[in-house]
Amino acid sequence: MSQKPIEENSKNTENEKGVIEVLVHSFFVIPFIIVVFGVLFFFMWKMLSDESDSAYDYLNEIKIGAATKRWQSAFELAKILGNPDLVPTDEKFVNELTMVYRNSIHDDPQVRTYLALAMGATRNSEYGEVLLEGLKDQNIQSKVSSIKSLGQIKYGKAIPLLLPLIKKNITDDIRLSAIMAIGMISDTSTVKDLLPLLDDEEANIRWESAVALAKLKNSRAVPVIKELLQRDYLKKFPQVDEWEQVQAILVAIHVSGILKSDEFIPHLEKLALHDLNMKVRDSAIKTLKKVYNKDVG
């Protein structure tokens, strides 16, 4: 028999395979490779562009940028300064941020608000004097941000100016932020001013005052902290959502370790064994073991 038909069929088959391979390569493989490289290029460009935006870059954008760009840059600046590794340590940066904050007095209040928060994020007490200027701001959010930042940098000289802000004739936002700041600074001279607030009609004021007193190891805070360790108690306040409940309980667990009262133990054990939030359970377990020498499990 002749071998030509077989050879021709074999060649045809090979040609067909070759055509199919070319088509697959052209329509699937090459586009896929292009897409992969495109995605990789995008992420590399994104990483490089993100890394190029330093604290100085954002500060310059606040100086020369358009109105919408300035507050966004101030927001980004506050965000990156929350990372200690990204905080410039040179005096030039401190001076420039101080100057930009002072010049923002007539700018969009959002710019000044985020600049104050940026200074607080550094935990650098050198910003104390300029942040005191923010206590005179008419805009509530700008004023609140300067109060909070004074607490974050633990600026003790702010205490005489913060104490008048916790009085009952002051708006709740300012009162609350001032109490929080006083708590962070932890000056024992403030105890006499904080104690009356444990009976305040506003729950948030009572809670923050108790936390501030707990940081000062004042046992008068025990009853309020004990309440904050109880889910059933917090559920009585419908305005306090689940996230806020968790934050309140975590703070209460933390300060319960400072006060070291046996009254907290049953509530800590209940949280450690039964709370649905794993962060709460873990925090309660660690506090019981470290502070009260109790193993739960």
Please tell me the distance from the alpha carbon of residue 265 to that of residue 285, in angstroms, as a whole number: 11
Full 3-state SS string of 235-258: CCCCCCCHHHHHHHHHHHHHHHHH
| pLDDT band, residue 296 (cuts 50/70/90) | confident
Q: Which residues contact 193 (CB under 8 A, 6 or more apart)?
A: 163, 166, 182
pLDDT of residue 52: 40
Helices and strands: H and E segment counts in the chain: 17, 0
Question: Nearest-5° angle of CA 77, CA 121, CA 48?
Answer: 35
Task: Evaluate if residue 212 carries a pLDDT over 80.
Answer: yes
Confidence (pLDDT) at 21: 54
> At residue 167, does pLDDT exceed 60?
yes
3-class secondary-structure state, position 167: coil
- Token pair listed for 96: 């420039």
Q: What is the mean pLDDT of residues 154-176?
A: 95
Alpha carbons 297 and 284: distance in angstroms, whole number: 12
* pLDDT for the residue numbered 31: 52
Judge whether 253 and 241 are in contact, CB under 8 Å: no
Give yes or no for residue 17 having a pLDDT over 60: no
pLDDT the model gives residue 68: 85
Q: pLDDT above 70 covers what percent of the chain?
A: 82
**Nearest CA-CA partner of 179 in 142, 205, 216:** 205
Q: State yes or no: pLDDT of 236 exceeds 80.
A: yes
CA 138 from centre of chain = 25
Amino acid 19: pLDDT: 47
Q: What is the dihedral of CA 225, 227, 232, 235, to 10 degrees?
A: -80
Average pLDDT over residues 92-117: 96
pLDDT at 10 over 70: no
- Per-residue pLDDT averaged across 23-44, rounded? 51
- 164 — pLDDT class (breaks 50, 70, 90): very high
Residue 98: predicted pLDDT? 97
What mean pLDDT is predicted for residues 268-274? 97
Per-residue tokens: 26: 């052209």
Region 189-203: mean pLDDT is 97
Distance (Å, whole) CA 294 – CA 50: 46
Does pLDDT of 77 surpass 90?
yes
pLDDT tens, residue by residue, 40-58? 554 454 444 444 458 999 9
b/e burial code for range 73-86 (CB count within 10 A of at least 16 → b): bbbbbbebbeeeee
Res 206 pLDDT > 60: yes
pLDDT (0 to 100) of residue 89: 85
Q: Region 245-264: what's the mean pLDDT? A: 97
Mean of pLDDT values over 95-110: 96
